[in-house]
Structure 1
Amino acid sequence: MPESPGVFDNPLEHGNDHSRDRRESILSNFLPENLPSSFLETGPIAREILSRDIEECSSSDGEDDDDNAANAPHHHHGSGDNDSTKSGLAQEDAKLAFHPNGVAYGCGFSTVPLPGIDRPVPNPREIEESLAEELSLLRENGIIQESTRPRHGSMVGSIYRVFGHSHEHLHQPQSGPATPLAGPANETTALLDGAGDVERQNTPPPAEIHQLWEEAVAAQKVKTTWQHEVKTLVSYSGPLIATFLLHYSVTIGSVLTVGRLGMLELGAVNLATMTASITCYVPVQGLSTCLDTLCSQAFGSGHKKLVGLQSQRMTWLLWMLMVPIAALWWFSEPVLAALVPDKDTARLAAQYLRILIIGMPGVAAFESGKRFVQSQGLFHATTYTLLIGAPLSFFQNWLFAFHFGWSFAGAAMAMAVTQNLLPLLLMLYVRLFEGMECWGGFSKKAFSNWGPMIKLAFPGMIMIEAQFSVLEVLTISAASFGTAKLAAQSVLVTVTSTAFNIPFPLAIATSTRVANLIGAGLSDAARVTAKVAIVAACVVGAFNLTILAGLRGPIARVFTDNDEVIEIVKRVILVCAVMEVFDSLAAVSHGILRGVGRQAIGGYANLFSYYVVALPVGLSTAFALGWELAGLWVGLTAGLAVVSGLEILYLYNANWELAVLQAEKRMRSEDVNNSERKQSRHEV
């Protein structure tokens, strides 16, 4: 009797010699063999868009694609003085430092699969990071001898080693890597570099490192430890956590402001914010995800000006779509009044939405702008922007709402001004510091080639919209319990969304790390990372649970001084605290599934848990059992418990070796497509 296929098994993707290694899966008889990763294959559509743009730019403007390609990351690696370095690393060799699709979005419960290429094209910074990680693992496994550390304990040297290595890449030009791995010191090497860090002098050149890496992987000599993976996940997720919390602090500032105005205003801002998210912010995020594919491919292929063209085209598309959305917001009061029983709440929510129309252009521009800089590896650009924009948003809330006396309208105006300020700050950073090489100016070509882009972007919008719609249903349901319950719901949504900005970046880091290790053929190391990530998710969930349960009183009083709302929050937040454990597990387990290329499993499990479990259970316990607001959160907790259990069970029964084989097939397919693109470009 033939053995049933494993979870990652596809009989078309491996031979009989691997069949004996397959693990029997209890899920294999219930899952289809070829679940799609999204509604459609995105690779051919992305290639169609880029091919058209390359052809148009080459024929109309005479753009010198060869000059652009000469600066592409896949043509060389290392300093321009070392020929062996130039040929040492090709773009397909950077397997350990890809940025994940979806870094640019992330609030609420965004764990649905979004369309994107299987293997993003690395930029120079990521190639440098990949080489550094190869060197680190080679040293840990004794393949490259550990360099001798300097004996002296100079304070200057210590400070340089701690801060200089981790931040020096921020000042490196895009066309070349950072200097630590460039080879032996010479007469042009800074004195601090040579005297303060012996490790640089003993580091082999990149070509030699990569050759040793390939040999070690082929011989299965590269292993990892849980300590190394902990350090890696912390280094990956730490900056993302800071960026996500900074971004969400803009919303927190608005909620904190209206909470001091009154219970009615606190409930209205929750209704308005959730309505704005469902009708505008979430669709914008979903549509913009196609830039993760297009901008990454354009930058990696050497056609850097096309990065700006793709971002510009998406911005115009989003602005056009916002015209009917703005009309809906302007006349939203009758719609909201029909959904919620309290007419004053509906009136204030509609007022908030009308003012937010002013911020619509900034929302679209910032989403496109984030992809523009991140495709170049400039992740810190968004962080720097938020470091200025987030504090200014708190100041504007105080200024407009209290100092100018605009009250509730002032909080809405502060939000709208901040939404327009963020893309302006990001543009200023690009103009003054780095990233301008990918901007070719405004072009009429941005109004062409929209069809394939919409086809590529639409599935992402549908998937993320489907999941967020559940939260809108729960918010409207909370409004039926009275103004106090709706105000409490505003506090609970803000607190839980803030808490989610810790495990979600961890999930992104896990997805990146697992995908890189799978792509490098290190299934055992990927399994170690997955175990570490699951444990980390439990730790993060326990931490959030402790904070929410232990500080439920102070947390409630931070948002409002209304005693009735405070008591409701203190009671219901205990349910939310338990939910945090399952929320963390669901996010991280989905990140692992994305890493092994099976994000569709997590996506469909999420939709099932929300619509078949969370929504029916929440509505039943809230209305039939009379648990009201607590019942809604019980339903959400049950849904997250189901999805986290399904995903972890799926991963436990997974065959990781077959995931490596599938990744190899995807890489070979992408390499062929890259070669075809290069050939067609030269023919043009």
Structure 2
Amino acid sequence: MSQALPIKFKTCHDRLIETSALVSSSYLSSSPIAHEILARDLAECSDDEQDYYHDYNHGLINDFDALELPGPSSNPLISRPSGVAYGTLRPIVAAEAAGSPVINANDLVQSRTAKQSLLRDNHILPPKHPRSLNEPIWKKAYRGVFSTKVPQNEDIGPLLSAASTKVLENTPLLGDLYLRPPSPTESEELNRWDAAVAANLLKTTWQREAQTLAQYSRSLIVTFLLHYSVTITSVFTVGRIGRLELGAVSLATMTANITCYAPVQGLSTCLDTLCAQAYGSGHKQLVGLQLQRMTYLLWMLLVPIGTLWWFAEPILGSIIPEHDTAALAGIYLRVLILGTPGVAAFESGKRFVQAQGLFHATTVVLLIGASLNVFANWFFVWKMGWGFTGAASAVVFTQNLLPFLLFLYVWFIEGMECWNGLSRRAFSNWGPMIKLALPGMIMVEAQYFAFEVLTLAASQFGSAHLAAQSVVVTVTSTTFNIPFPLSIAASTRIANLIGAKLSDAARTSAKVALVAGCLVGLFNLTLLSSLRYKIPYLFTKDDEVAAIVSHVLPICAVLQLFDSLAAISHGLLRGIGRQGIGGFTNLFSYYLVALPISFSTGWCLGWKLEGLWFGIAVGLAVVSSVELWYLHQADWEHAVQEAEMRMQSDEAYHSEFK
């Protein structure tokens, strides 16, 4: 299924030269900074060669003589989201790794399964589940609507081997509508795939794409919602204490997001590239090294951040008119300082397991952590009687619990193959890593600030509006955790189909994604508009705050449709390699359209909180309109050609170093 690229290492210097060539061909041909980082790390092996062979003999490093990496011609169909910052406020894609994807064993299994599905849908492989002539009517009707099969194409005949069409002597003449011929081998499947792609015979259906997008996105939706539930639970708990406390949490969360969580998430997204390139090149011990290096960097940054939080009360007091709110927010931030090391460790740890294809590890950890977080809020706030500080303590408890649970998962279940122990090398080679990480941090920070500045603006209207802002932000951020994972699934599916030269199938998948985005947006719109008077009382007992929220929710309901379409269209742009268009469109719309309108309607027209969110709704309408227009005008065939040129470039590197 893939072209082998044997690598035989004799000395660390030889290993550096040969592996640098391999890495540049397989993943980093368009990521020179990441290439430089790996090259430097391998160069340091010359000073510690004895440790390398010790690790090799103990099985911590792969047998490189047997290492095989798939060549570009195999056109793998894989799903691996990267550069995603999530867990607080609105999830964001900071940057996507350029070049060909690094492929591991899990990816190969998923790729083959995806290819088999398309080949079966196009009748090039025998069906997985043969149908009987005696099927009940309801099952036939179900198949007629939801079957993923494409109409029979007469041109597929030459692609079918004699083995797949031969009827054995003992095969019943009446029985199965589809006979079960011998299953083709993996090499036969690959030959049929390549022939079908070359003949442009592979098509897809909306049923297949809907099924695939649902499969790709369901675990992401669960993961994102579980991670954000830490914030939701805190807001739920504090809202029951009082209006002032609810506003203080909103102000403290805004400060934490802008000054800590956004920078930490943005910087750590570079590990999606660094850990993947180390894993994909066969140097699994370097995955753990990148984890350590980023964690140490983030912990160092926490020193000035913690100092800022410790003295946040007078700073916030000079910005907002409500001194009591600023004082409570300062107390909340002081407690949160204890949770920042856990935040940094977990953000790095997520990338460590994801580089190995262990996306479910984060979901399992969050499932346990989110459940314990609910208990911690009850225990600290109500059982221990700590009140407002108890809510902050529960957040700290969960933030430090998550990396510990992830460590236990890696230690006892899977992922230890990429951990080679603590290393002094983690304190070197920081310069290129910081250079690679800064763009991701800037992108995340810019998008976070555009929404968090609304909280700062709402604080000028009084404690009731600030408390209402906390509820509105929580509700809209929760609903956004549904279309955003769907956009990631659409992005990866489109990119896979484009890379496999299936532009028609990519268009079909894009249409299905847009329809799904519309449905999700309409669902959220209906939910918020119909429950506008019920939702506020889930967070607070204060009638004034609830009234403000109920007046803002209709605007937020309309916003849901634009928000969902903007997320999906941005994902489709990433899928065809035009993520830069989406990034600049978002920043332009937020800062030059949304915020000016928000401030104008909020103050000049006296709409207050309603005006602030009206501007955001207009900005998202602009984002979705511009991106959808670009997608309508985009040349999908050109996107296929660009993907093919990248793969040819990679193939040339492979051929050169064989």
Q: Give 5+ residue unaligned stretches, structure 1.
A: 1-39, 77-88, 154-183, 185-197, 680-684
Once the two structures are superposed, the pairs formed by residues 327-342 of structure 1 within 5 Å of their partners are 327-342=307-322
CA distance in 2, matches of 1:204, 1:390: 45
Once the two structures are superposed, the pairs formed by residues 83-232 of structure 1 within 5 Å of their partners are 90=71, 93=74, 95-103=76-84, 105=86, 107-111=88-92, 113-147=94-128, 149=130, 202-232=182-212
Of 221-230 and 199-208, deviating more is: 199-208
User: 2:68 pairs with 72, 75, 80, which one?
Assistant: 75
Once the two structures are superposed, the pairs formed by residues 189-588 of structure 1 within 5 Å of their partners are 202-588=182-568
| Distance apart, 1:351 and its partner CA | 0.6
Matched residues, number: 585
| Distance apart, 1:119 and its partner CA | 2.8
Q: What do residues 593-615 of structure 1 show as CA deviations (whole Å, max 9, x unaligned)?
A: 11111100000000000000000
CA distance in 1, matches of 2:275, 2:250: 34
| Distance apart, 1:338 and its partner CA | 1.2
Task: Indicate the SS of the match to 2:535.
Answer: helix
CA distance 1:150–1:658, change in 2 (3 Å): closer
Amino acid at match of 1:545: L
Amino acid at match of 2:221: I
Corresponding residue of 2:174: none
Amino acid at match of 1:462: I
CA distance 1:148–1:348, change in 2 (3 Å): closer
Task: Indicate the SS of the match to 1:117.
Answer: coil
| Distance apart, 1:674 and its partner CA | 6.5
Amino acid at match of 1:530: A
CA distance in 2, matches of 1:117, 1:617: 36
CA distance 1:604–1:542, change in 2 (3 Å): same
CA contact (8 A) 1:389 1:421 kept: yes
User: 1:48 pairs with 10, 32, 36, which one?
Assistant: 36
| Distance apart, 1:664 and its partner CA | 1.5
CA distance 1:285–1:92, change in 2 (3 Å): farther
CA contact (8 A) 2:83 2:270 kept: no
| Distance apart, 1:42 and its partner CA | 6.3
| Distance apart, 1:670 and its partner CA | 3.9
CA distance 1:367–1:496, change in 2 (3 Å): same
| Distance apart, 1:203 and its partner CA | 3.4
Amino acid at match of 2:115: E
CA contact (8 A) 1:73 1:302 kept: no
Task: Indicate the SS of the match to 1:220.
Answer: coil
Q: What do residues 609-629 of structure 1 show as CA deviations (whole Å, max 9, x unaligned)?
A: 000000000000000000000
Corresponding residue of 2:151: none
CA distance in 1, matches of 2:194, 2:495: 17
Q: What do residues 232-282 of structure 1 show as CA deviations (whole Å, max 9, x unaligned)?
A: 000000110001000000110100010000000000001101110110001
CA distance 1:365–1:441, change in 2 (3 Å): same
Amino acid at match of 2:39: S
CA distance in 2, matches of 1:41, 1:347: 52
| Distance apart, 1:224 and its partner CA | 0.5
| Distance apart, 1:108 and its partner CA | 3.4
Task: Indicate the SS of the match to 1:303.
Answer: coil
Corresponding residue of 2:7: none
Amino acid at match of 1:95: P
Q: What do residues 422-447 of structure 1 show as CA deviations (whole Å, max 9, x unaligned)?
A: 00000000000000000000000000
Task: Indicate the SS of the match to 1:554.
Answer: coil
| Distance apart, 1:60 and its partner CA | 1.2
CA distance 1:534–1:241, change in 2 (3 Å): same
Corresponding residue of 2:573: 593
| Distance apart, 1:147 and its partner CA | 4.2
| Distance apart, 1:659 and its partner CA | 0.3
| Distance apart, 1:91 and its partner CA | 7.0
- Give the ranges of 4+ consecutive aligned residues of structure 1 lying more than 6 Å apart after TM superposition: 71-74, 150-153, 198-201
CA distance 1:93–1:460, change in 2 (3 Å): same
| Distance apart, 1:146 and its partner CA | 1.7
Amino acid at match of 2:624: S
Q: What do residues 156-200 of structure 1 show as CA deviations (whole Å, max 9, x unaligned)?
A: xxxxxxxxxxxxxxxxxxxxxxxxxxxx9xxxxxxxxxxxxx999
| Distance apart, 1:201 and its partner CA | 9.1
Task: Indicate the SS of the match to 1:480.
Answer: helix
Q: Report the TM-score when normalising by structure 2.
A: 0.85
CA contact (8 A) 1:112 1:606 kept: no
CA contact (8 A) 1:491 1:569 kept: yes
Q: What do residues 363-393 of structure 1 show as CA deviations (whole Å, max 9, x unaligned)?
A: 0000000000011010110000011000100
Q: Give 5+ residue unaligned stretches, structure 2.
A: 1-27, 135-163, 165-177
Corresponding residue of 1:86: none
Is residue 2:615 matched to residue 1:635? yes
CA distance in 2, matches of 1:345, 1:200: 71
Q: What do residues 567-608 of structure 1 show as CA deviations (whole Å, max 9, x unaligned)?
A: 111110111111011010111100001111110000000000
User: 2:589 pairs with 609, 621, 643, which one?
Assistant: 609
Corresponding residue of 1:648: 628
CA distance 1:265–1:658, change in 2 (3 Å): same
CA distance in 1, matches of 2:131, 2:502: 33
CA distance in 2, matches of 1:321, 1:199: 64
CA distance in 2, matches of 1:409, 1:321: 25
CA distance in 1, matches of 2:257, 2:620: 21
CA distance in 2, matches of 1:405, 1:151: 65
CA contact (8 A) 1:115 1:290 kept: no
| Distance apart, 1:468 and its partner CA | 1.1
| Distance apart, 1:320 and its partner CA | 0.4
| Distance apart, 1:215 and its partner CA | 1.0
Instruction: Give % identity.
Output: 60
Corresponding residue of 2:606: 626
Q: Report the TM-score when normalising by structure 1.
A: 0.82
CA distance in 1, matches of 2:65, 2:533: 55
CA distance 1:673–1:390, change in 2 (3 Å): farther
Corresponding residue of 2:20: none
CA distance 1:596–1:237, change in 2 (3 Å): same
| Distance apart, 1:93 and its partner CA | 2.5
Corresponding residue of 1:36: none
| Distance apart, 1:52 and its partner CA | 1.2
| Distance apart, 1:498 and its partner CA | 0.4
CA contact (8 A) 1:75 1:91 kept: no
Task: Indicate the SS of the match to 2:340.
Answer: helix
CA distance 1:602–1:595, change in 2 (3 Å): same
CA distance in 1, matches of 2:266, 2:473: 21
Q: What do residues 310-343 of structure 1 show as CA deviations (whole Å, max 9, x unaligned)?
A: 1111000000011000000000111101111100
CA distance 1:670–1:452, change in 2 (3 Å): farther
CA distance in 1, matches of 2:360, 2:91: 22
CA contact (8 A) 1:108 1:500 kept: no
